A and B are shown apart, each in its own frame.
Chain A
């Protein structure tokens, strides 16, 4: 299962000609140069792309946490007009292919000069367009006893205070799950970054890796592998430390 991954790690320390001859994990001849070669292979050093990806990820996490938790509170705890139809719309957006909105979105964002900025990717997150996370949080809030809200209400708290001081602190696990999933999915996203970020100084790691393939063809597998590993490490770490939340998150959205 993970043999190909381990082999890629091993091969990133091999000289190019040995990558095609050693199927094992033992490195007969250690070659460190793949990493510095790959790091500086494009017009900007790889640290620039890592930084771009990190900014994007932070913006998206912040956006999802704030906007989705607000929407989830309304759906889970408040009674309002058109609630049912809005809830159905929200669930349906989870299943909507992004392609049906990407063309007009691109037109819209290019008209306001946002192509080659991070806004086209971050702003939708600030507007709670990730229904999956709203739903995940709704599920979690439903599990919090309503007595907690009632007690706060008797003390004179309104909805904003109940949300901020009672519900939010109790839903930290759901927020953590959202943050980790947003991290992994935004970091790995290729399609939207490919469309919006065409200027090399704005590349995320995924687009940079693609540009790397285009520029070297398949002549420099060692460096390509080395940079591939670099882009995978943050996801691997997020997985390692957030696994508990990831397992719980997808189990609770999938199970009644």
Chain B
């Protein structure tokens, strides 16, 4: 089961306690994990929840300010804009990326020659994609005199500065996200392999068209995998940082058009050292990501089909 299917099934089984016969050994094996959970994860989480209600600049001790940070978030136009940018990136970028991933996976699954070669070629960008180097490359190819415009010139079109124009800069980053469709594609491919061939054979004997087979067999059979990819990619996309940072030299520009929420958080926390406000923002991000995931899980009951 995937991590997500596991969480779903755990939420259904209740009560039943484990016999707990290996307590001692388990304590030893879990020493690093337990220390990590409290010292690196839960402790800092509690701390940042406290800091969210303070004014703290790292030099003086935190000063409790009640709901001041939340009120400030409600009034902060740049923060609202960063949410708009991030939501656009997630809501456009993720579905597009997954659609391409699924489409290519289906094409490759049709028994194309040289499958493993093509799989590598498509998979590679998603492994390199989070590097600074790729963001550097993107900055050049979508620049005013970059590769894209050189190619457009060949067919006689005068391109614009895609990265430097606030109307298209976010689009260039969405395209970069689509370009890294390789990881979900590999997961889709593995899923498609598990759909029993006899379903398709039966359907084609009954005269079902390819499109009909896709809608009535492929889609329901791989719906748990679509769900898995959707949840993980959404969570990942909300946290994207590197590309927006590099492309805009850390400014989120032009005109805040690539000011991702995480970039704004970084600026507030680690450039202005406004750590109280940054903590409040971090918790807002957790709530947003949590809400998206919860809605995803809830809606999944209506469209995700489990075979067993």
Interface residues of A (CB under 8 A from B): 1-2, 4-5, 7-8, 19-23, 66-67, 70-71, 73-74, 78-81, 83-84, 86-108, 110, 123-124, 126-129, 132, 134-135, 158-160, 163, 184-185, 188-191, 194-195, 206, 209-210, 213-214, 218, 221, 224-225, 228-229, 231-232, 235-236, 239, 243, 246-247, 250-251, 253-256
- State whether the Cβ of B124 lies closer than 8 Å to any Cβ in chain A: yes
Interface residues of B (CB under 8 A from A): 1-3, 5-7, 10, 18-23, 25-33, 35-37, 39-41, 43-45, 47-48, 51, 58, 119-125, 127-128, 130-134, 136-137, 139-141, 143, 145-147, 150-151, 154, 179, 183, 186-187, 189-191, 194, 224-225, 228-229, 231, 235, 238-239, 241-242, 245-246, 249, 262, 265-266, 269-270, 275, 278-279, 281-283, 285-286, 289, 293
Additional pairs, 10, CB under 8 Å, beyond known A101-B44, A190-B130: A23-B151, A81-B20, A84-B18, A95-B293, A189-B130, A190-B131, A190-B132, A232-B133, A243-B123, A251-B190
The answer to whether A191 and B128 touch across the interface, beta carbons within 8 angstroms, is: no
The answer to whether A124 and B36 touch across the interface, beta carbons within 8 angstroms, is: yes
Within the complex, the shortest CB–CB distance from B177 to chain A, in Å, comes to 14
Closest to A8 in B: B137
In the assembly, what is the distance between CA of A107 and CA of B54, in Å?
Answer: 14
A20 with B150: in contact, given A97-B239, A126-B32, A231-B132 (CB under 8 Å)?
A: yes
The answer to whether B41 and A253 touch across the interface, beta carbons within 8 angstroms, is: no
In the assembly, what is the distance between CA of A4 and CA of B245, in Å?
Answer: 20
B7 contacts which chain A residues (CB < 8 A)?
A: 88, 91-92
Closest to A70 in B: B29
The answer to whether A23 and B278 touch across the interface, beta carbons within 8 angstroms, is: no
The answer to whether B18 and A23 touch across the interface, beta carbons within 8 angstroms, is: no
In the assembly, what is the distance between CA of A163 and CA of B25, in Å?
Answer: 11
Within the complex, the shortest CB–CB distance from B141 to chain A, in Å, comes to 6
In the assembly, what is the distance between CA of A13 and CA of B239, in Å?
Answer: 35
The answer to whether A104 and B10 touch across the interface, beta carbons within 8 angstroms, is: no
The answer to whether A2 and B123 touch across the interface, beta carbons within 8 angstroms, is: no
A255 with B18: in contact, given A4-B141, A8-B137, A126-B32 (CB under 8 Å)?
A: no
A101 contacts which chain B residues (CB < 8 A)?
A: 40-41, 44-45, 48
The answer to whether A191 and B241 touch across the interface, beta carbons within 8 angstroms, is: yes
A256 with B136: in contact, given A71-B33, A79-B18, A129-B40 (CB under 8 Å)?
A: no
A210 contacts which chain B residues (CB < 8 A)?
A: 132, 245-246
Within the complex, the shortest CB–CB distance from A154 to chain B, in Å, comes to 17
Within the complex, the shortest CB–CB distance from B222 to chain A, in Å, comes to 10
Contact partner of A74 among B29, B187, B246, CB < 8 A? B29
Contact partner of A79 among B5, B20, B189, B293, CB < 8 A? B20
B10 contacts which chain A residues (CB < 8 A)?
A: 84, 87-88
